[in-house]
Amino acid sequence: MAKPPRAWQRMLSGRRLDLLDPTPMDIEIEDIAHGLAFVARWNGQTFGDYPYSVAEHSLLVEQLYSRMYPNAPVKWQLAALLHDAPEYVIGDMISPVKAAVGPGYGELDHRLTAAIHIRFGLPAQIPATVKKQIKRADKISAWMEATQIAGFSLLEANKFFGKPDPSLIEGLTIQLRAPVAVRNDYTARHMALLARMK
C-alpha cells in the first residue's frame, strides 16, 4: 500500500504547518517574512541584481492602500500587508499558471489565508468591499512593477492593469533590495500595525 504524501512543511521557527489543515497556532510572522522575502514575483523575470520579492510587493501594496483609503481601520492596512502571505508556503504563481492548476490552488490559498488572518487578529474572511479595495492597490502595484522592472510598455501595462491616478504613485519608486533588508522591513511594518490595533 502506498504511503500518503507528506502535506506539511517544517518552518525555520520549528513550526510544522499542515497545508491541508493549517492552524493559526502554526503561523509565525518571522516565517512569513522570511519566506516572502525569498519568493520572486514575475517568475523572477525582472531587471536588477535582486529579485523583486513578494515581501517588497506587499509593503508597496499596503502603502498604496493606505494612500487610497487614509481613513481605513488599521486592521485593513494589516490585511493589505498580508494579502499575499500564503505565498510564503505555496509560492507566487503567475495568473496563467493559476488558471492551469485549477481550483485546487484557490482552495489552498483560502485555507492558509484564514489561518493567517485569525493568527493576527483579523476575521478569517475579510469583507468583500475591503478585498476589492486591496485588489485595487494590488493592481496599481502590478502596473508600477510592470513598467519599472518587468519590461512592459506603458501601453501594455495600461491594458492589463489599468492606468493609475498619478497622485497615488507620486514619489514611489521600486527599489530592488537584498532579501534580509526586505524581510526586516516587512516584519517591522507588521509589528507596527499590530501595535496600533491594540
In the chain, alpha helices (H):
29-37, 54-68, 74-81, 87-90, 95-101, 103-119, 128-148, 154-161, 166-169, 179-197
Q: Check residue 82 and give its pLDDT.
A: 98
The pLDDT-based confidence of 93 (bands split at 50, 70, 90) is confident
Q: Check residue 168 and give its pLDDT.
A: 95
Q: Check residue 1 and give its pLDDT.
A: 74
Q: Check residue 159 and give its pLDDT.
A: 97
**Cα torsion at 20, 86, 77, 24 (round to 10°)?**
40
Of 97 and 83, the one with more pLDDT: 83
Fold of 25-196: Hypothetical protein af1432 (1.10.3210)
Q: Which residues contact 191 (CB under 8 A, 6 or more apart)?
A: 29
The pLDDT-based confidence of 145 (bands split at 50, 70, 90) is very high
| Residue environment code for 56-82, b if the CB has 16+ CB neighbours within 10 A, otherwise e | bbbbbbbbbbbbbbeebeebbbbbbbb
Q: Check residue 96 and give its pLDDT.
A: 73
Residue type, 108: L
| Residue 67 in this model has a pLDDT that exceeds 80 | yes
Map out the domains of the chain as residue ranges: 25-196
| Residue 99 in this model has a pLDDT that exceeds 80 | no
Q: What is the mean pLDDT of the chain?
A: 94
List the single range of 23-27, 80-84, 93-97, 191-195 with lowest mean pLDDT. 93-97
The pLDDT-based confidence of 4 (bands split at 50, 70, 90) is confident
What's the mean pLDDT in 138-163? 97
